[in-house]
Structure 1
Amino acid sequence: MASTVSTRFMIISDTLGFKFKNRRKAGNKVAGNFKHPFPNCDVLLHCGNLTRLGQPNEVEQCLQMLGSINAELKLVIAGNHEHVLDKEWWSKHKENTDDPDSPASLEYKRAVGMMTGPLAKEAGVTYLTEGLNAFKLKNGAQFTIYSSPYSPRFFDSAFAYGSAEDRFNPANAVAKGYRCIAENPMPNFPALDIVMTHGPPRKILDRKTHGNVGCGTLMRAISRARPRLHCFGHVDQAYGARWVRWEEDLNTIGQKAIEIVSNMENAYPQVTRSPMTFGKDTLMVNAAIGNGSGAQPTNAPWLVDLDLIKAPSV
């Protein structure tokens, strides 16, 4: 049996352009839980909605904010607010994007350059697009993560797909009535340790006042992949965590694959602990710390320990 290494993750989402220097105070106490000093962690995961309006200057501000958090590895995806990072959205809404020297083209290049160039490196940030990546940490742990900034279309949002489109499953795993548009489909168990998406899966931490808004095709993919952790944001009203136990049959997918769902309380700044068996259990975390109505995060980050496989010695 392969040896494991306990690895600590801090999970946040929907910081919405927050800057520490602009934090308001309530009396003598700083409002909210997202504040220095942060507990030690090995990996920071940011599940998107870095900005409020999706403009280049906000991207730079977010990198400055993330740079002040201490973690060996900081993995970040975009969300539906990040218009300037979504080439398709930006091209559709801005003039002369076919001209590489037009103001709109230069804004897009500048924003992507910030997320992938020297500014991101200085902040310790690794910007992930859609697909698979593998990482090895100083503690010897290794993990594979699937990331995607995409979520179901909401008005005129960035990184969006239609209600009858399946972005996460290969053609042979798509449900009836859906069209496969997957460019980077999620692989089956046991290929993944972590899934980080912007949007939630259907009926798991996805409820707004008017009902569930999560994605059924994403739930279908997660039930195939059975990662140790699935983290997301997007729906601030549904902030929280759930421990999911899957049915034994790996061929059962979608909502029917769920055997048990249990609520998990956030122990931050202590670690939220959940005994999990890889392939049987997944910790689902909605880490939206912003409340959507202002620039002040109101929810605490999540601090989670995962037992990851130790990389073989070279």
Structure 2
Amino acid sequence: MPPSGTVKTRILIISDTHSTPLETPSASQPFRHPLPSADVLIHCGDLTMEGLTSEYRKTLDMLAAIDAPVKLVIAGNHDRTLDKEWMRTHERMLWGKKWRETYEEAREIWFGKNGRARKEGVTMLEEGLHEIDVGNGTILTLHASPYQPEFYDWAFPYQKHQDRYNPPSNTLSDAENIAVNPISSFSEKAIDVICTHGPPWKHGDITAHGNVGCPHLLTAVSRAKPLIHCFGHIHEGWGAETVTWDKATESSETETIAQFKAEGWKKHIKRTEGVKVTEKEVKSKRAVFVDGTKEGGKEIRRGEQTLMVNAAIMDVGYDPVNAAFVVDLDLPVKN
């Protein structure tokens, strides 16, 4: 039984499915039907390849087949038609190619009262803090953001010197603060999950060209200390690790971005422990299972630790070979 005053809650996490359906039950890949059932499904963006209406329909077909009463998704850089500013600035280029997709049509699918997402019980989250009634006696507090550092002129970008996640007092000295919905510190609000499309610096962000995650995001996550930070975007960064934070992370930042990337990020973290993955077991169970409950013996300690999860289903060659993650948490009983 979970500790008194909490509810054991199972969260299924996927990302970067790019309109790919679940494989058949007989397939060898772990991303196959049926995925494990859960209380909450979270998809961390890149629902499609280009943001086409037909692709959104395929993704919703896939999401509808997953057994979870609460289904939460965010957009990613490939879901271009959901980014109003990107569509505005690329309108001439798109129509020149006889593009027939619109922002309004995409919004209707995901946010419309009669849209397909609502019919399937799927909720698209816009940037900011959300409190979700899970239906099992708890409220999931989640901060969402589809944005990531500018990446080959795709959607939901910000420049690498821009801080989208922190208040000015926690922005690196040579960064431009553009935060509209800064992530709250742990002392302000206990956040259960931060869901972003892009990864933070040095966590699930390794590519052939080195680390490409966001230092500003790592600063924000170290302040918030959520139980889970889930993301995708960098396919080759798939995996999970538990971060134990250094408690002295609330102070104002005076470092430059380069200094933070070089050594400064280390002061936020005491240690990291990778989640071990057994390929045979993952293929059999269709997911990587992480028990973060007290009963499980490896409790993710609120305000001290965060499970970092890169849940990208696609590998770098866009083959859906990676597994979903299933995380069990003790969440507070709602008042």
TM-score under structure 2 normalisation? 0.85
Alignment of 1:296-307 (within 5 A): 296-307=319-330
Q: Distance in 1 between matches of 2:35 and 2:27?
A: 14
- Alpha-carbon offset, residue 249 of structure 1: 2.6
Are the aligned partners of 1:265 and 1:272 in contact in 2 as well (CA < 8 Å)?
Answer: no
- AA aligned to 1:299 is N
The 10-residue stretch of structure 1 (41-50 or 185-194) with the greater mean CA deviation from structure 2: 185-194
Q: Does 1:273 align with 2:273?
A: no
> Which position in structure 2 is the counterpart of 1:109?
104
Q: Does 1:180 align with 2:140?
A: no
SS at match of 1:37: coil
Where does the alignment leave 5 or more consecutive residues of structure 1 unmatched?
98-102
> Which position in structure 1 is the counterpart of 2:63?
66
SS at match of 1:259: strand
> Which position in structure 2 is the counterpart of 1:311?
334
Q: Distance in 2 between matches of 1:180 and 1:2?
A: 41
- AA aligned to 1:260 is R
- Alpha-carbon offset, residue 151 of structure 1: 0.4
% identical equivalent positions: 41
Q: Distance in 2 between matches of 1:248 and 1:159?
A: 32
Q: Does 1:127 align with 2:124?
A: yes
Q: Distance in 2 between matches of 1:64 and 1:46?
A: 14
Are the aligned partners of 1:81 and 1:158 in contact in 2 as well (CA < 8 Å)?
Answer: yes
Q: Distance in 2 between matches of 1:132 and 1:213?
A: 25
Q: Does 1:87 align with 2:89?
A: no
Q: Distance in 2 between matches of 1:250 and 1:277?
A: 17
Q: Distance in 2 between matches of 1:51 and 1:96?
A: 20
Are the aligned partners of 1:49 and 1:82 in contact in 2 as well (CA < 8 Å)?
Answer: yes
- Alpha-carbon offset, residue 29 of structure 1: 4.3
RMSD: 2.2
Are the aligned partners of 1:194 and 1:227 in contact in 2 as well (CA < 8 Å)?
Answer: yes
Q: Paired residue for 1:262, among 251, 258, 273?
A: 273
The 10-residue stretch of structure 1 (73-82 or 263-272) with the greater mean CA deviation from structure 2: 263-272
Q: Quickly say closer, same or farther: Cα 1:2–1:159, change in 2 above 3 A.
A: farther
Q: Quickly say closer, same or farther: Cα 1:142–1:209, change in 2 above 3 A.
A: same
> Which position in structure 2 is the counterpart of 1:14?
16
SS at match of 1:271: strand
Are the aligned partners of 2:53 and 2:101 in contact in 1 as well (CA < 8 Å)?
Answer: no
Q: Distance in 2 between matches of 1:308 and 1:13?
A: 23
The 10-residue stretch of structure 1 (180-189 or 272-281) with the greater mean CA deviation from structure 2: 272-281
Where does the alignment leave 5 or more consecutive residues of structure 2 unmatched?
254-264, 293-298
Count matched residues: 301
The 10-residue stretch of structure 1 (227-236 or 255-264) with the greater mean CA deviation from structure 2: 255-264
- Alpha-carbon offset, residue 293 of structure 1: 2.3
Q: Distance in 2 between matches of 1:126 and 1:163?
A: 29
Give per-residue Cα distances to partners, 1:82-104, cap 9 Å, x unaligned: 1111111111111499xxxxx97
Alignment of 1:240-259 (within 5 A): 240-251=239-250, 254-259=265-270
Give per-residue Cα distances to partners, 1:219-263, cap 9 Å, x unaligned: 000011000000000111110001000113343585411001110
Q: Distance in 1 between matches of 2:163 and 2:205?
A: 18
Are the aligned partners of 1:226 and 1:279 in contact in 2 as well (CA < 8 Å)?
Answer: yes
- Alpha-carbon offset, residue 143 of structure 1: 1.9
Q: Distance in 2 between matches of 1:263 and 1:196?
A: 19
Q: Distance in 1 between matches of 2:129 and 2:323?
A: 28
- AA aligned to 2:312 is A
- Alpha-carbon offset, residue 273 of structure 1: 2.1
SS at match of 1:302: strand
